[in-house]
């Protein structure tokens, strides 16, 4: 049995393409692998708090020195990290906002990228502690940021996500990027291509 963590980060509901596509992936996967367990977290509608001063003080000090306030400051982070580490694979639905990820997802990342929990500092430098995991990241973009587009240099979304998850040890990452979703025939074609990519990945992931 495989444990999958499915996370949506769009604040939109039924009009969200990233939600619809991530849901399609998970539904298709569940149909093909009914024995697998899927946990779901909606951080678009149920937002994660941003890191604050108490969080930083707690995360970078020995646990035995923590006051009740500092212990509480990491409670949500501990919950999210425990859930994250319990999963074998991840499915993320992520819209593109201003060439990158929405703040809802950045707040989540800031909570789970933590020294001594998901990354270690060693003599040689940093070492990711989240090993042997796989991720599928399904993005929704209003414009065309594909490899052949003149706007590809504006795509800070995929490079950032590859970097930050690689930093904690997750390097087996598949991207399904739905581009050109602002409207017209290009949107229809892009959604069709994303759906085809989902079905193809289901057989290989």
Tens-digit pLDDT profile for residues 18-64: 999 999 999 999 999 999 999 999 999 999 999 999 999 999 999 99
Q: Is 54 helix (H, G, I), strand (E, B) or coil?
A: helix
**Could you tell me the CA-to-CA distances from 194 to 82, 103, 137 in Å, in that order?**
31, 24, 12
Say whether pLDDT at 184 is over 90.
Answer: no
pLDDT at 174: 98
Nearest partner of 169 among 110, 120, 124, judged by Cα = 120
- Is residue 57 included in any domain, yes or no? no
pLDDT at 125: 95
- Is residue 130 included in any domain, yes or no? yes
- Is residue 30 included in any domain, yes or no? yes
- Is residue 137 included in any domain, yes or no? yes
Pairing label, strands 125-128, 172-178: unpaired
Is 98 within 8 Å of 143 (Cβ atoms)?
Answer: no
- Is residue 53 included in any domain, yes or no? no
pLDDT at 124: 92
Task: CATH number of the domain at 42, please.
Answer: 3.40.50.360
52-60, long-range: CB < 8 A, 24+ apart: 59/114, 59/115, 60/115
How many domains in the chain? 1
- Is residue 113 included in any domain, yes or no? yes
55: its two tokens: 């969080």
pLDDT at 183: 80
Is 197 within 8 Å of 158 (Cβ atoms)?
Answer: no
Q: How far is CA 136 from the centre of its chain?
A: 8
- Torsion sign over Cα 60, 92, 104, 48: negative
pLDDT at 118: 98
Q: What are phi and psi of 174, to 5 degrees?
A: -110, 130
Pairing label, strands 89-95, 119-122: unpaired
What mean pLDDT is predicted for residues 175-197?
A: 95
Q: For residue 16, what are the domain limits?
A: 3-48+79-202
Q: In the predicted model, what is the mean pLDDT of the chain?
A: 97
Burial class (CB in 10 A: 0-12, 13-18, 19+), 162: middle
Tens-digit pLDDT profile for residues 77-94: 999 999 999 999 999 999
Nearest partner of 52 among 32, 27, 75, 28, judged by Cα = 75
Euclidean distance between CA atoms 60 and 132, whole angstroms = 26
| Cross-strand bridge partners of residue 97 | 100
Q: Which is higher by pLDDT, 178 or 14?
A: 178
Reported confidence tier of residue 14, pLDDT bands at 50, 70, 90: confident
- Is residue 167 included in any domain, yes or no? yes
pLDDT at 115: 96
What mean pLDDT is predicted for residues 108-137?
A: 97
- Is residue 65 included in any domain, yes or no? no
């Amino acid at each position: 049995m495989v444990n999958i963590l499915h996370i949506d980060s769009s604040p939109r509901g039924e009009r969200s393409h990233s939600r619809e596509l991530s849901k399609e992936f998970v539904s298709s996967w569940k149909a093909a692998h009914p024995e697998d367990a899927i946990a779901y977290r909606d951080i678009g509608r149920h937002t994660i708090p941003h890191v604050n001063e108490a969080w930083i003080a707690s995360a970078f000090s020995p646990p035995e020195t923590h006051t009740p306030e500092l212990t509480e400051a990491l409670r949500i982070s501990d919950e999210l990290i425990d859930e994250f580490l319990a999963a074998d694979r991840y499915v993320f639905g992520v819209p593109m906002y201003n060439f990158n990820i929405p703040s809802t997802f950045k707040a989540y990342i800031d909570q789970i990228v933590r020294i001594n929990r998901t990354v270690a500092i060693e003599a040689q430098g940093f070492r990711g502690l989240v090993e042997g995991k796989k991720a599928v990241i399904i993005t929704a973009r209003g414009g065309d940021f594909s490899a052949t587009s003149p706007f590809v240099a504006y795509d800070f979304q995929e490079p950032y996500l590859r970097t930050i998850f690689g930093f904690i040890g997750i390097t087996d990452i598949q991207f399904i990027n739905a581009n050109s979703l602002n409207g017209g025939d290009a949107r229809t074609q892009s959604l069709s291509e994303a759906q085809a990519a989902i079905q193809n990945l289901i057989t290989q992931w």
